[in-house]
Every structure is written in structure tokens, then in C-alpha cells.
Amino acid sequence: MKPVYEGLVGDVGGTNARFALVDAKGHVRNPRSFPAKDYQSLAHVIEEYLETTAGRKRPPRAVIAVAGPVLDGEIEFTNLDWQISEGDLLAHFEFEAVKLINDFAAQALACPMFEPEDLKAIGPALKPGSDCPLVVLGAGTGFGVAGLARTERGDVAVATEGGHSSFAPQDEVEVEIWRRLKARFGRVSNERLLSGPGLHDIYEIACELNQTPVMLSDEKQVIESAASGDEMAEKAVNRFCAILGSVAGDLALNFGARGGVFISGGIAPRLGDRLTSGYFRARFEDKGRLSPYVQQIPTSLVLHPYPAIVGAARELQQMERL
């Protein structure tokens, strides 16, 4: 007997579109990933997933986490040439209900649900403040940020575009990085550095400053070469981790995130032990008079492969209770 599925959940970023089904007991089933560039629209990807996974028995509801701001039930993707609305999906697939949520808002909803094995401590193992706000951030194709407010009536995700806030250099090397990116792009946001393309830009500038030929063509090669001991790649990755720590500490202050700061995205898990080697946490805690405040905030690397799917499934359950 085939299972009865209560809903479709998804996580659509700039590179991959991931989908899964939620059964009657709330379990996430049949997760699959699709390269977004191979499809003309979000509806085309959903259609293929449902046809090959759910068959004729379509789930009645859907929650899709998307990379970009959701305004009045519509999304124009930040790093994809796609645009979709909840109304479009209702009409196309005849769902009973559809909700689009920001992908990092979904991850924020997921953070309290993680098991210990889904997380890796960055820095000291600290106890989070009870029922305190938390923040999740991550670098991939872009740089996402969201918060979670804990209330007596439940958790409320706070979607933001904090990844596009301005980059604040902390030393002369970073001033030079800012200057060169400013000349090339104009305004320099945190996403300009804390993303896959940003990591490669940091590497290129490190090579220029050290008068060394640029030998690596993308961020994947930079990460792999850093792990193999390439000096310029190591400089770039260490600088990336340091900048990520500074931004994470600023966000902890902005959100009052005594419930913890969670690092996700496509890049951080690939940095392995380098993220926990000290560059990140040292800059996270370097907040002047407020250093004692952030020193008490735990920072964790999210190891779960589908954090936004977990959050979308949680949002789906909340829809069912309404």
C-alpha cells in the first residue's frame, strides 16, 4: 500500500532545487535534488518531481522555501531568472494551500529541531539561552540571513535580506579587498565576499597582493587546494572564515541571539576543520565592549543535509493546525 502524503516541501536556491514529501506522521520522505539551471521555471521542476515520485496521488498542500524575498506571496529569485507566486502554484497544481517562505526563514524554523549529531560546535561548547532569539546565516551561491523569535505562542521566523548589508573591513588587508571590489562592482555587500564567487574573489586579490599568479578558477578549487596546503588558497579560506566570524558576531548583536548562531549554506560544511580552527570564533568575539556578551553565545555548524526542508516541513505542520 502506497503511503498517503500530506504535503510537498521544497528548498530552491540559486544552484539546486530540492524537494521531498511529508507523510501523515510528519516524516520527510523521498528527498531529491535538481540542478536549477536545467529548468525553465520552478513549476517545471515541481512537475518532474511529482510525476516521478508521487505519481497520480498528489499531496494537498505545499510549502516551498525560496532564495529571495517573498512579497505578498510572490518571489522573484535573487540568483535565478525565475518568478513565481503562490497563486500560480495553486492554479497549476490544484493544491488546497501553498506557502512560499524565504529559505533562511525555513532554516531558522529548523534550528530548534536539530539533533546533536546534526550540529558541530564552532568554538567552546556553550549552553544557549532558554527561549532566546537565534540567528542562522550561510554562504552558497549568495549569502542568507534569518532570525527566529521564541514566544509562548510558538516560534516566529524573521526573514531578512541581511546578506546584502554593507561589508565592514576590519584591517588593512580587508580595506584593500574592499577597495578593489569597490572599483569593480561599486557598493560592496557582505554577500560580495561571503559567497562562492566571493571566496574566489578573495583568492584572486590575495594572489594580486602577494604578486602570485592566479592558478585556481573557482571556489571549489580554492577549497580543495587549501586542504592540500596551497598557500594562497589557505590565505583566502582563512580570510573568508574570519570575515564570516565578524559578520556572524554583528548579527548576534543585531538579533540579541543568545539562543545561538547557526552557520549553514553550501560552503561552510566543505571548509571542515578550518572553520573551527579559530579564525571564525576569534573575530566573532572581537566586539570591543560587547565582547563578553558574544563570548557567551554558542556558534554551531549545521551538518544536516536538508535544513530548509526540515523547516518547510515544520511550517507545513503549522498550516495543518490552522
Residues 7 and 22: their CA atoms lie apart, in Å, by 5
Residues 52 and 33: their CA atoms lie apart, in Å, by 13
SS (H, E, C) 18-68: EEEEEECCCCEEEEEEEEHHHCCCHHHHHHHHHHHHCCCCCCCEEEEEECC
Residues 57 and 312: their CA atoms lie apart, in Å, by 21
15 known member of a binding site:
yes
11 known member of a binding site:
yes
Residues 238 and 226: their CA atoms lie apart, in Å, by 9
How many angstroms from the chain centroid is the CA of residue 99?
19
Specify whether the CB–CB gap between 308 and 103 falls below 8 A. Answer: yes
Residue-wise burial string across 265-285, b where 16 or more C-beta atoms lie within 10 A, e elsewhere: bbbbbebeebbbeebbbebbb
12 known member of a binding site:
yes
Q: Which of 314, 319, 318 is nearest to 108 (CA)?
A: 314
Residue-wise burial string across 25-53, b where 16 or more C-beta atoms lie within 10 A, e elsewhere: eeebeebeebebeebeebbebbebbbeeb
Q: How far from 178 is each of 126, 235, 267, CA to CA, in Å? A: 33, 16, 21
Residues 270 and 227: their CA atoms lie apart, in Å, by 10
Contacts of 315 (CB under 8 A, 6+ apart): 63, 99, 101, 106, 109
Is the dihedral angle over the CA atoms 234, 35, 81, 20 positive or is it negative? negative
Q: List, as residue ranges, the binding site.
A: 10-15
Residues comprising the binding site for ATP? 10-15
